[in-house]
Amino acid sequence: MKRVALVLFCSLALSSCVNEEFFQHDALATEEELNGKAAAGPDSAWVILGRHYDRSGFHRFFWGNHHRPLWTTPVKLPVFRLDSVNGGLQVVKKGGGYQTTSFQLEDRQGRLYAFRSLDKDPKEVVSPFWQSTFVTNVLRDQTSAANPFGALVVPPLASAVGVYHTNPKLYYVAATDTTFGEFSLLVQGKVFMLEEKYDSPADITPAFSADVFNFEDSEGALRKRFLRNTYHFSQEAFARARLLDLLLGDWDRHKGQWDWAVTAQRADTTYFPVPKDRDQVFLKMKSGLIPSIATSKLLGRKFHTFDHDFSDVKAYMLNAKFIDERLLHELSREDWQRIAQEMQQQLTDDVIDRAVKELPLPIYTLVGPEMAHNLKSRRHLLPKAAAQMYAILAKKVTIPGSDAPEQFVVKRLGDGDVEVIVTRPATGAAPARQLYKRIFKRGETEEIILHGLAGDDKFILSGQADESILVKIYGGLGEDEITDNSSVSGWKKYTQVYDTERGNEINFGTEAKDKTTKDVRVHAYDREGN
C-alpha cells in the first residue's frame, strides 16, 4: 500500500509539471485571450502574467486553485521604456536574486530602483539533487498562491498609518526591447515590478520626514546598534509596521525585508522601518488537498492564507522571529493596544476602498470587493491580533546592551512583577541617558534575559517578593559588576548569572544561582542573524 501511495503521489506531482519553456514565452495576450477587449495603444499592452498556472480541475483538486485566475487574466500594463520612465533610467547592475530576474536601475538624479520579474522560478533554491525532479515543478506551481498584484494595494494603507513604503509599479517589457544590452534576453516579453530602493541620501523623497538624512540596511543598522549605545530603533514605529504586516497577511518579514530611515538628534541616531519586497501579501494557499495538509500548524504553518480574520497570529511571526525579538522587547501591552486602535481610526473604509482600487480593473473585478471586505474585517480585529502578538513576544524577553558600558537595574516588585531600567553613563561623546524601561507582568513573562555584551557593565538587582520572574544575566566580555540583593520566597532561585569565572566582580546574595564558567562561549549572542 505504501508503494501504491508513493506512486500516486508522484503521479499527482508530475501532473503539476510546468515546462521551463513556459517561462520564456511572451506575456503578451493573444486576440483569442483578449476575448474582444479594446486594443492597447503604443504605450501599453494587454498581458497575461502566468499562463502556466492555468491547470485542470483534477490538478486544482489536489494542488489548489490559489490565485490562478489572477495570473491567467489579461491586464493592461504600460510598456517599459528604459530611456523615458522616471525621466530616463540606466542599468547599474544585475541583481543576485535566486527566484526572480532583477536589476538595479538609476535615474538622472542618482535615485536607485529595483526592477524585478513578477513571476518566480524557485529552481535555484532547491538542492541540485531535486532540481530536475517533480519537486521543482511542484514549487513552481505553488507560486500561484501569491497575489501578483497585491503590492499595488499597500502604499495607500501604509501612508494612512504612517509607515514608510515603496511605490511599486508594473510594466511589460516588449519582446523587441534591446535597451538592456547583454541582459535583453532576460527581460524581453516579461512583466516586471519597478520600485524605489532606499540606499543613500539621493533616494530621500518628500514622503520622508525632514529629519531623515540617510538609509541603512538591517545588517548595518543592527551592527551599529550593538556596537554603541547611541544607536536605537524606534520600537513603536516598528510595531506599527508589523501590525500593518498582519493586516496584509504578509508572512515573509525576515530582516532582509527591511531598510531603515536614519535620523539623528545630537549624539543619538534612531532608525525607522521602511518595509520592502511585498511579494507575499494576500497569500491564498488553503485550497487543494495537498496544500491544506502541508500548511497545517505541524508543517508549513507560515504559509497562512489571507482571509477575514487572524486565525493564527504566530504563523505571521515565524519568519520575523529574529528581528521581532530584537526590536519589539520594550513595548507594553498598553502600547500595543494604543497603536492598534490608532491604526483602526486611520484605516477608514474610504482608505481601504481606494487602496484596493489600485488593482488593475480586471483584477479588481475578480477579487477587489472580497479583499476590501477582508481588510475591513481584519482592521476591526486588529487590537485582538496586537494582544496576541504581544503575548507571544512577552513570554520570553531578551534585553541586550551594547559593546559600550551600561547599567542594568532590576527591581522585584511586591506583586511579582519586575521592573528593568537600562542606562548609559555620560561620556565625552554622549550625555547620560535612560535607554530602556519596562515593567514585566508575572502572568505574561516567564523569563527576562539580560545581555551586557562587551562593555564593562553593572547589574544591580533589588526588591523582595513572594513570587517573581526568572532573570538570567549574561555579563558579556567586559569586566562586569553583578550584585543581587533581591529576595523571593521559597527554595527556587529567580536569578541566574552566566559569565566567566575570572575578571568580574559578582555578589550572588541569597537569590542568584552561580552559572559562571571558564568557557568564553557563555557570552555568545546572535547580533545580526548571520
**Given this model, what pLDDT does residue 130 score?**
53
Whole-angstrom Cα Rg for the chain: 26
What pLDDT digit, counting tens, does each position of 489-504 carry?
A: 999 999 999 999 888 9
Question: Higher-confidence residue: 212 or 27?
Answer: 212
Asked which of 95-104, 143-152, 167-176 is least confident by mean pLDDT, the reply is: 95-104
**Given this model, what pLDDT does residue 119 score?**
83
- Distance between CA atoms of residues 412 and 331, nearest Å: 19
Q: DSSP for 408-451, please give it.
A: EEEEE-TTS-EEEEEEE---SSS--EEEEEEEEPTTT-SEEEEE
453 contacts 477 by C-beta, under 8 angstroms:
yes
**Given this model, what pLDDT does residue 27 score?**
86
- Distance between CA atoms of residues 116 and 194, nearest Å: 7
- Distance between CA atoms of residues 222 and 255, nearest Å: 10
Find the mean pLDDT for residues 443-455: 96
**Given this model, what pLDDT does residue 370 score?**
97
pLDDT band at 26 (very low <50, low <70, confident <90, very high): confident
Amino acid identity at 399: I
pTM: 0.92
pLDDT band at 136 (very low <50, low <70, confident <90, very high): low
Phi-psi region of 181 (alpha: psi -120 to 50; beta: other; left: phi over 0): left
Angstrom CA distances, 409 to 457, 460, 474, 522, stand at 11, 5, 14, 21
**Given this model, what pLDDT does residue 12 score?**
46
The 3 state secondary structure assigned to 189-219 is CCEEEEEEECCCHHHCCCCCCCCEEEEEEHH
Q: Give yes or no for residue 1 having a pLDDT over 60.
A: no
pLDDT band at 381 (very low <50, low <70, confident <90, very high): very high
Angstrom CA distances, 448 to 37, 39, 71, 419, 452, stand at 62, 64, 47, 10, 13
Q: Give yes or no for residue 133 having a pLDDT over 70.
A: no
Mean pLDDT of the chain: 89
**Given this model, what pLDDT does residue 38 score?**
76
**Given this model, what pLDDT does residue 65 score?**
78
Asked which of 130-134, 245-249, 320-324, 385-389 is least confident by mean pLDDT, the reply is: 130-134
Q: How many CA atoms lie within 13 A of 368 on its CB side?
A: 15
- Distance between CA atoms of residues 141 and 53, nearest Å: 7
